[in-house]
């Protein structure tokens, strides 16, 4: 990796002072949390900053706190291991703790943070290979489009066909969470649904609405309905630790016989965590039976446009959604 200056601010204000927006925007300054992604990028020369601002010395950014009214606030520096092991969240927000537990390996989860997970860069192998200068790295072509695209997007793709790698993002989307972003200018709150940006809508070099100079400070989950139950199903090619070929985050309010309402988010299939609104509509007030599940699965994947090697993700994702719904029913 290229040599860099390491800064260890003690407060978020100090950190923000170090994050000159132009330098962040031109990739000269980078933010470091657990380093599970950034350090890999440094080692592969995908990121070559001159300055690195380490957030880990900042206190008060790793808590999991109950908000008045039933919401939950989680600090950006909270590790995935802490999240996964939280006894209350395991009961009340299973989709989130299960998603955290499905990430990588124990070693990685004990270092990796929530903020880093949401802001990690794509894992598409064209992006990760130094030799291929793809669209995401300022090149002119998304090589996956006509190339090896088994792991790429079937929904929302173009001009880049990455899938967003975060497992926490679909879970938080299903929970309707928001992120709090701070900068020298102040603080703003953005819904997860708006935080992740499609390559067709924004800057193809980024995956989120995070502005240069901003830090993701915390994640806020709004109060959930009393009867809300949730689950996370992630399909990994290699169970021992792997990225999602496809994943389903499901939050549903049921009375045992009927699904009153549901929120469905998909992972591993689109450049952003993908909200399956058509499936949600199909599930609203539907009886809890296989036929409704199949209808929801059909609806979720309607409009999918597979590339040459990833059409399998359509039946796979349908199957996963059916299995997820079955698990809530049974």
Partner 1 sequence: MSTQDKPKKKKVKVTRNENGHPVEVEIEVDDVDGPSWGPRAGHTLVNHDVPRVDGPVKVSGRAPYPHDIRLPGMLHARVLCARIPAGSVRLDLESARKTPGVEVVLDLEVKEIRWLGQPVAAVAATTPEKAADGLRALAAQFQAAGFAVTPEQALAPNAPQVTRRGNKGKESENGDAEAVKAALAAAAGTARAEYSLPVQHHASLETHGVVVDYSGGDEARIYASTQSTFGISEDAAEPLGLKASQIETISEYMGGGFGAKFGLGIEGLIACRLAKLAKRPVHLLLTRKDEFLAAGNRSGSRVVMEGGIAADGKLTALRAEIERHGGIGGGSHARQPYVYSVEKVHTKSYPVHTNTDGSRAMRAPGHPQASFAIESLIDELCYAANLDLLEVRKKNLANPTYARQLERVAREIGWYEHPHRTQPGRMDQRECIGIGFGVSTWGGGGGESCEVDVRIERDGSVTSSVGTQDLGTGTRTYVASIVAEEFGLGMDGVTARIGSSRLGNANASGGSTTVASLAPAVKNAAWKARMKFAEHLAPLLGTQKELLRFEKGELVDQQSGKRIPFAKACAMLPNEGLQARGTWVADLAGNGIQGAQAAKVRVDPLTGRVEVLKMVCVQNCGLPINRLTLRSQIFGGMVQALSYALLEERIMEPSLGLQINPNFEDYKLAGSLEIGEIVAIIDDEDTREQAIGVSEATIVPGHSAIANAVANACGARVRHLPLTPDKVLAALGKV
> Does 305 contact partner 1 by CB under 8 A?
no
Minimum distance, C-beta of residue 239 to partner 1, in the bound complex (Å): 4
The answer to whether the beta carbons of residues 19 and 28 sit under 8 Å apart is no
Minimum distance, C-beta of residue 247 to ligand FAD, in the bound complex (Å): 9
The Cα angle at residue 317 between residues 149 and 205, in degrees rounded to 5: 45
The answer to whether the beta carbons of residues 249 and 268 sit under 8 Å apart is no
Quick one: what does residue 250 bind among partner 1, ligand FAD, none, with the CB cut-off 5 to 8 Å set by partner type? Answer: none
Q: Which residue is nearest to ligand FAD (CB)?
A: 116
> Does 110 contact partner 1 by CB under 8 A?
no
- DSSP secondary structure, 55-90, as one string: GGG-TT-S-EEEPTTS-EEEETT-BHHHHHH-HHHH
Quick one: what does residue 314 bind among partner 1, ligand FAD, none, with the CB cut-off 5 to 8 Å set by partner type? Answer: partner 1
Interface stretch with partner 1, choices 160-168, 187-195, 224-232, 235-243 (CB under 8 A)? 235-243
Q: Tell me the per-residue interface mask from 19 to 58 with ligand FAD, x by CB under 6 A, - otherwise.
A: -----------xxxxxxxxx-x--------------x---
Q: Which helix (H) or strand (E) holds 184?
A: none
Measured CA to CA, the distance from residue 317 to residue 18 in angstroms comes to: 43
Write phi, then psi, for 16 (nearest 5 degrees): -65, -35
The Cα angle at residue 132 between residues 126 and 138, in degrees rounded to 5: 95
The answer to whether the beta carbons of residues 215 and 55 sit under 8 Å apart is yes
Minimum distance, C-beta of residue 245 to ligand FAD, in the bound complex (Å): 11
Burial 164-187 (b: 16+ CB within 10 A, else e): bbbbbbbbbbbbbbbbbbbbeeee
**Furthest-apart CA atoms within the chain: distance in Å:** 60
- Which position among 16, 215, 250, 321 is part of the footprint of ligand FAD (CB under 6 A)? 215
Joined tokens for residue 87? 């006894």
> Does 76 contact ligand FAD by CB under 6 A?
yes
Which of the residues 27 through 56 are near partner 1 (CB under 8 A)?
Answer: 45
> Does 264 contact partner 1 by CB under 8 A?
no
Minimum distance, C-beta of residue 221 to partner 1, in the bound complex (Å): 29
- Which position among 243, 265, 266, 301 is part of the footprint of ligand FAD (CB under 6 A)? 243
CB of 94 or CB of 104, closer to ligand FAD: 104
Measured CA to CA, the distance from residue 152 to residue 161 in angstroms comes to: 6
Quick one: what does residue 119 bind among partner 1, ligand FAD, none, with the CB cut-off 5 to 8 Å set by partner type? Answer: ligand FAD
Quick one: what does residue 150 bind among ligand FAD, partner 1, none, with the CB cut-off 5 to 8 Å set by partner type? Answer: partner 1
> Could you report how far apart the first and last alpha carbons of the chain are, in Å?
50
The answer to whether the beta carbons of residues 113 and 77 sit under 8 Å apart is yes
- Which position among 212, 241, 260, 295 is part of the footprint of partner 1 (CB under 8 A)? 241
Residue 99 CA: distances (Å) to CA of 46, 144, 233: 27, 27, 8
> Does 140 contact partner 1 by CB under 8 A?
no
Radius of gyration of the chain (CA): 19
Q: Which helix (H) or strand (E) holds 115?
A: helix 114-119
Sites of contact with ligand FAD (CB under 6 A): 30-38, 40, 55, 76, 80, 103-104, 108, 111-113, 115-117, 119-121, 165-167, 210, 215-216, 243
Sites of contact with partner 1 (CB under 8 A): 1, 45, 123, 125-126, 128-129, 131-132, 143, 146-148, 150, 235, 237-242, 245, 309-312, 314-316, 318-320, 322-323
């Amino acid at each position: 990796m290229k040599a860099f200056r390491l800064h260890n601010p003690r407060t978020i204000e100090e950190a923000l002072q170090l994050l000159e927006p132009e330098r962040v925007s031109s990739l000269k300054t980078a933010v470091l949390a657990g380093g599970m992604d950034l350090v890999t990028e440094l080692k592969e020369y995908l990121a070559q900053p001159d300055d690195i601002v380490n957030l880990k010395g900042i206190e008060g950014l790793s808590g999991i706190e109950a908000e008045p009214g039933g919401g939950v606030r989680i600090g950006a520096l909270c590790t995935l291991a802490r999240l996964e092991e939280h006894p209350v969240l395991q009961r009340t927000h299973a989709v989130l703790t299960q998603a955290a537990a499905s990430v990588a390996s124990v070693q990685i989860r004990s270092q990796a943070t929530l903020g880093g997970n949401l802001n990690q860069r794509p894992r598409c192998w064209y992006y990760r290979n130094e030799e291929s200068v793809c669209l995401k790295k300022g090149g002119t072509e998304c090589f996956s489009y006509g190339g090896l695209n088994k792991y790429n997007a079937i929904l929302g793709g173009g001009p880049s066909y990455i899938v967003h790698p975060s497992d926490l993002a679909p879970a938080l989307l299903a929970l309707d969470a928001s992120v709090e972003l701070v900068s020298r200018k102040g603080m703003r709150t953005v819904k997860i649904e708006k935080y992740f940006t499609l390559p067709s809508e924004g800057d193809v070099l980024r995956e989120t609405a995070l502005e240069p100079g901003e830090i993701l400070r915390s994640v806020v989950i709004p109060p959930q309905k009393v009867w809300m139950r949730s689950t996370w199903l992630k399909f990994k090619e290699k169970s021992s630790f792997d990225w999602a070929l496809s994943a389903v985050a499901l939050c549903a309010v049921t009375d045992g016989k009927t699904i009153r309402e549901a929120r469905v988010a998909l992972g591993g299939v689109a450049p952003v965590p993908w909200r399956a609104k058509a499936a949600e509509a199909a599930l609203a007030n539907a009886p809890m039976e296989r036929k409704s599940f199949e209808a929801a699965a059909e609806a979720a994947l309607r409009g999918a446009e597979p590339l040459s090697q990833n059409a399998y993700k359509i039946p796979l994702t349908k199957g996963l959604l059916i299995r997820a719904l079955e698990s809530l029913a049974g």
